[in-house]
Amino acid sequence: MPSRRHSLLDPHTAAFPPLEVRTVTLGLNAADLADRVLHKVCDGLYQRIIAMAGTFGSVCEAVAAEYGVPILQRRVCVTPLDRLSEGFGADDLVNIARTLDGAAAHVHVDQIAGYLARAAHGMSSSARQMIAALPVVLSQTERVQASVEAASSGSGISLEAVELLGYKLKETAEATANRQGIGAAKLSILANLPNEGPPISGVCTGDGWGDLVIHVSVSAMSAIRHAVDQRLQQSSRADMGVLASDIKAAAFQSVRIAELIGREIAQRIGAEFGRVDVSLAPTVRPGQTIAELLQRLGITKFGSPGTAAALMMLWGAMRTAGAFASISSAGHAAVLLPVLRDAGLVAATEAGSLAIEHLEHLATVGGLGLDLVPVAGDIDAGTLSALMADQLATAVVNHRPTVIRLVPVPGKSAGERVSFGRDLGDAVVLSVASAADSSFVQRGGRIPGFL
């Protein structure tokens, strides 16, 4: 007879729908490894990761098998390198990034974060060097995820950082042209970097945490779809208020189980438990896309009128459910719209109902930003910077975390298909309405924030 633990979480029972934990992230403090000698920093980082994350992968596998809940991605994040790399040049930073990449491979994790530069208040020499090294770092590593915080609601937008990032993003794509510019997909431009935990790719554990901490991110997609399907089978004319209540209950259930899994992993490796983050994101199961979920709610074409209202309802339901389900809820639920990971969004771009302008608008009602959006390879750096600035402005005004991952695809034009293989899938290159006048961003300085 199966144990109570197995029966409660069995994805094949009617008690609970199929569920995947999106990510389990191990936050690792390395602040004490700062040194002016490069090989000491590299050796210290490598040994620290091996020692403290050595069993992380196997523990995740064991807990996932025991509970019958797949863990889609395992990440390690270390203390932001801008605290460890003061005084190092671009070549030194590449060596540090390679060290992180090698350590991540050794402990069998999918991603490692920590290559983070903060430039929302202004550009330090360390941040400038880190940004300058991005094309080489992201073309010569596999698991390293880089990020730059270029804006915050308190400080505003650093146009100097945004301008430089436009050039470096394009260089990164060109440096990985043999792989469709995939290096650019590993660079996150951020606003309002959250301190509670790392819910998005490339974000490090914030200040105030211990030496070892586990964070969990879960997509409530499967649970919400299951709840909506059940309600519509009972009453095909169920109103949106009834559906919103069902969605809250499903998201609540997802958070509770994800936290249970995260705490179990933390206990087994001797870490503290940090945050559980709930989002609405596409999953690996067939039919689990944002577009298909909205079709059940009555939005026949994703991006058509009504899409923003439907996403707002989903976002609000998840935020409420997360806060009620756990005192460890991260508190910034989001609807993730990664074009390169969602077949439904790809179909909407092909049908013409979804464009960059729609994605920018949806970021104001729960979206996390322009996430994994493929654009033409010949796009100029100034236009990339202007796209970033627009999205950062939305984040500053709304006081919400935002991530921007634009992927210029070398040799591809708007409307052409591009394939990134198993990790990201296929997509259609989106068009940008018109080239931006780069003189706006080139003025530099800082656009003031909104306190």
> Domains, the chain, ranges and CATH?
18-336 (3.20.70.20)
Which residues of the chain fall below pLDDT 50? 1-14
**CA distance readout (Å), 169 to 143, 172, 375:** 18, 5, 12
List CB contacts of 159: < 8 A, sequence separation 6 or more. 389, 441, 443, 444, 445, 446, 447
The pLDDT score that the predictor gives to residue 100 is 97
CA distance 185 to 139: 11
List CB contacts of 2: < 8 A, sequence separation 6 or more. 10
Among candidates 172, 96, 107, which has minimal Cα distance to 139? Answer: 172
pLDDT tens profile 314-341: 988 888 888 888 888 877 777 888 888 8
Token couple for 393: 């402005």
Among candidates 307, 314, 303, 427, which has minimal Cα distance to 372? Answer: 427
Note whether 379 and 432 are within 8 A (CB).
yes
The residues that bridge with 188 in the sheet, in sequence order, are: 147
pLDDT tens profile 378-392: 999 999 999 999 999
CA distance 143 to 160: 28
Token couple for 327: 């005192």
Quickly tell me which residue has 């309802």 as its tokens.
313
Q: What is the sign of the dihedral through the CA atoms of 352, 358, 359 and 360?
A: positive
